[in-house]
Amino acid sequence: MTLQPPAAPQASPPAEGPAPTGLRTALVLAVAAGAALLLALPPFDLWPLAIVGVALLAIATHRRRLRAGFGLGLLAGAVLFYPLLHWTSFAAGWLPWALLSTAEAVFFGLTGLATAWLRPLLDRWRGLLWPPLLGLLWVTQEAVRDRAPFGGFPWGRLAFSQADAPVLRLAALGGAPAVTFGVAAAAGALVGLYYLIFPAWRALPAETRRKPWLARPRLDWRRPWRDPVIVLSVIAFALVVLPRAVPLGGDQGPVKTIAIVQGNVPRLGLEFNEQRRAVLDNHVKATLQLAADVAAGKRKQPDLVVWPENSSDIDPLRNQDAAGEISAAADAIKAPILVGTVLRTNNPNNIKNAGLLWVPGAGPDPTQQYVKRHPVPFAEYMPLRSVAKLVSDKVALVRNMVPGATPGVLRTGPLTLGDVICFEVAYDGIVRDTVTGGGQVLAVQTNNATFNAAEARQQMAMVRLRAVEHGRDSMMVSTVGVSGFVDRYGSVHQLTGFNTAAVQVRAVHLTSSRTLATRLGALPEIAAVVLAVAALAAAFVLRRGRREITGDGAEKAEAR
Give pLDDT tens digits for 405-443: 999 999 999 999 999 999 999 999 999 999 999 999 999
Q: Which residues pair with 507 in a beta bridge?
A: 257
Distance between CA atoms of residues 215 and 197, nearest Å: 11
CATH of the domain at 359: 3.60.110.10
Distance between CA atoms of residues 263 and 337, nearest Å: 14
Which of 38, 154, 43, 162 is CA-nearest to residue 456? 43
Give 400's contacts (C-beta < 8 A, 6+ positions apart): 349, 350, 351, 381, 382
Number of helices (H), then strands (E), belonging to the chain: the values are 18, 15
For the chain, what percent of residues have pLDDT higher than 90?
Answer: 72
* Structural domain for 460, as ranges: 255-510
Contact between 57 and 112 (Cβ < 8 Å): yes
Write the DSSP symbol of residue 381: B
* Catalytic residue (choose from 309, 325, 455, 469): 309
Domain match, 375 and 295 both? yes
Report yes or no on 499 lying in a domain.
yes
* Other beta carbons within 10 Å of 397: 12
Active-site residue 424, yes or no?
no
Give 478's contacts (C-beta < 8 A, 6+ positions apart): 262, 308, 309, 446, 447, 448, 456, 496
Domain match, 226 and 272 both? no
486, 510, 534 - which closes a domain = 510
Report yes or no on 453 lying in a domain.
yes
Report yes or no on 150 lying in a domain.
yes
Report yes or no on 13 lying in a domain.
no
Report yes or no on 332 lying in a domain.
yes
pLDDT at 9: 42
Domain match, 424 and 527 both? no
Q: How many CA atoms are closer than 13 Å to the CA of 93, on its beta-carbon side?
A: 12
Domain match, 106 and 179 both? yes
Give 94's contacts (C-beta < 8 A, 6+ positions apart): none
Active-site residue 352, yes or no?
no
DSSP class per residue in 460-488: HHHHHHHHHHHT--EEEEESSS--EEE-T
In the chain, the number of structural domains is 2
Domain match, 218 and 300 both? no
What spatial distance separates the first Cα and last Cα of the chain, rounded to whole Å?
33
Write the DSSP symbol of residue 344: E
Residue 146 CA, chain-centre distance (Å), reads 10
* Catalytic residue (choose from 142, 380, 422, 455): 422
Distance between CA atoms of residues 430 and 504, nearest Å: 26
pLDDT at 359: 98
Domain match, 345 and 445 both? yes
Domain match, 416 and 500 both? yes
Show contacts of 536-544: CB within 8 Å, 24+ apart.
536/114, 536/117, 536/118, 538/121, 539/117, 539/118, 539/119, 539/120, 539/121, 540/117, 542/120, 542/121, 543/117, 543/120
Domain match, 191 and 319 both? no
Contact between 474 and 450 (Cβ < 8 Å): no
* Other beta carbons within 10 Å of 394: 16
Report yes or no on 4 lying in a domain.
no
Instruction: Name the burial class of residue 453, with classes exposed (0-12), middle (13-18) and buried (19+) by CB atoms within 10 angstroms of its CB.
Output: middle
Q: Which three-class secondary structure state does DSSP give residue 304?
A: strand
Q: Which three-class secondary structure state does DSSP give residue 364?
A: strand
Distance between CA atoms of residues 87 and 92, nearest Å: 9
Give pLDDT tens digits for 274-326: 588 899 999 999 999 999 999 999 999 999 999 999 999 999 999 999 999 99
Beta strands in 405-501 (DSSP E): 409-411, 416-421, 441-446, 474-478, 484-486, 492-493
Domain match, 235 and 110 both? yes
Report yes or no on 12 lying in a domain.
no
Contact between 316 and 268 (Cβ < 8 Å): no
Which of 163, 152, 187 is CA-nearest to residue 428? 152
Domain match, 418 and 372 both? yes
Domain match, 89 and 32 both? yes
Report yes or no on 515 lying in a domain.
no
Active-site residue 309, yes or no?
yes
Distance between CA atoms of residues 310 and 343, nearest Å: 10
Buried b (16+ CB within 10 A) or exposed e, 482-499: bbbbbbbebebeebbebb
Domain match, 187 and 163 both? yes
* Positions of the chain with pLDDT lower than 70, given as ranges: 1-18, 199-221, 225-226, 249-251, 268-274, 378-379, 381-399, 545-560
